Amino acid sequence: MTNLAQHWRQGQDKEVVPSTLHPMLDTNPVPQVPESAPSDCTPPAQTPSNEELWEIVDHHLIRYGGSFAPRLIERARGSYLYDRQGRKILDFTSGQMCATLGHNHPDVVQAIHKACEGVLHLFSGMLSPSVIELADTLCKLLPPTLQKAIFLNTGSEANEAALRLAKLHTGGFEVVGLSASWHGMTAGASASTFVAARKGYGPTIPGNFALPTPNCYRCPVRHCQDQCDMTCLAVGFELIDSQSVGSYAALMVEPILSAGGIIEPPEGYFQRLQDYCRERGMLLILDEAQTAFGRLGSFFAFEQLGIVPDILTLSKTLGGGLPLAATVTSADIEADCYDKGFLYYTSHVSDPMPAEVGLAVLRVLTTQNLTERAATMGAYLKAGLLKLKDRYEVIGDVRGRGLLLGVELVKDRESRTPNPDLGATITRRCMELGLSMNITALPNMGSVWRIAPPLTVTQEELDEGLAILDQAMSDCLTAGQRP
């Protein structure tokens, strides 16, 4: 038995105490049924069984990303989910990479209550104090060239707004992205999403180009291995320049390509990328959906990259699990677009309730030093994953920064052939043992676990997750060796 497994099993007898939540103010109490209720009262509806609920799923829900996870989740607190049977599941993805403070954080819950007692939604042209305060609080964290913000709901919307600003400001329409990018599902954002979901939906918006992703583990131009010299960037722009009609608007990129397999471009890549943009009169849009607000060990990833983008988009990590996104740009770009009639009217732009939550998230991040915690816990987790790599030949690579890490599975380290079947099997076994993991399995791009626990995760919880992963890999590899 490994030390990790021993540590994990020793901790199984510990009671999990959920975070204390702010009490709800019930302004509409449910009337109490008298003890001597009339005999013709309808009896309370029985709670449907799991089987009945899954039957409803089969009949009525559209499957929007493959099959649904096999557990029905009824409650979530901190780093844990609880299914309808009360079984505890350690969440190593922070929901959909959004619940960076952990599930149902008390300050987030309190912010929701505050909004419920005040105002939830307004006409889109109206503002609430919470939206103004959020803009002020957020922009105080940003450099002078990023001081104008619009608050939306999702990363797709934030990127859509960024693209509209860039096209209106530059007068161009051509957009460049990376071949393993994911920027969203709306029209403009999906046109710049190259990692998946492109086939079968008809033509995308014209003028979108893909640069080869600088994947040091799998060089896209078969030029180098394990150490990128950025030939892919130079060759990529030569090809794009040959296809462009000379109407560039923007280049949109993630600091770490998460859906593409936790790809971290090499040092100096973003400075050179920005130089290419400036030479062509393009704006640089940095999509920090998963990297902003502490996950990499700094408030924003661009602080580590040595650049300041022309437009910054924020989403997942701003809302603490609720739909809140922002697009931020310079006063000059905003003024020019305003003069040109910029329009981005949505039903929930500047909504007060998510703004209250965003304020709570920023307060917790700053007062509890969660960026430093992410760096410390991320280093501890990465060290544990590297120990598993030493033990299991099928782990080809461990990469990433802070609490956004990737583990790539291969059939053998020499050929680096992706191993999606084994990855799916181990992922299922992890869930059986009480660990929620996410794996990307992309053609010619590998099978990679995306590991992104909440920034509030404890060392004991990381030990538990590592031990479960160790056991799941051992179980599946042992079973695979049986005749």
User: Which residues are catalytic, by number?
Assistant: 182, 254, 287, 290, 316, 450
Residue 287: phi and psi, rounded to 5, are -95, 100
Q: Which residues contact 388 (CB under 8 A, 6 or more apart)?
A: 395, 407, 466, 469, 470, 473
Task: Measure CA of the first residue to CA of the last residue in the chain; give whole Å.
Answer: 24
Backbone angles phi and psi of 283, in degrees to 5 = -90, 145
Alpha-carbon span 325 to 381, nearest angstrom: 28
Name the nearest CA neighbour of 65 among 182, 161, 152.
182
Alpha-carbon distance 85 to 103, whole Å?
A: 19
- Write the single-letter amino acid at 234: A
- Judged by DSSP in three states, 412 sits in coil
Neighbours of 201 (CB within 10 A): 8
CA–CA separation, 195 and 213 (whole Å): 10
Identify the CA nearest to 181 among candidates 224, 215, 225, 222: 215
Secondary structure (H, E, C), 230-268 = CHHHHHHHHHHHHHCCCCEEEEEECCCECCCCCECCCCC
Contact 408, 396 (CB under 8 A): yes
Write b or e for each residue in 238-272: b if 16 or more Cβ atoms lie within 10 A of its Cβ, otherwise e. eebeeebeeebbbbbbbbbbbbbbbbbbeeebbee
Question: Which pair of tokens denotes residue 165?
Answer: 């600003």
Q: Give the rounded distance of the alpha carbon of 396 from its chain centre.
A: 23
Q: What is the DSSP track for 145-175? A: T--EEEEESSHHHHHHHHHHHHHHHHS--EE
CA distance linking residue 359 with residue 354, whole number of Å: 9
In whole angstroms, what is the distance from residue 309 CA to residue 162 CA? 11
Phi, psi of 68 (to 5 degrees): -75, 155
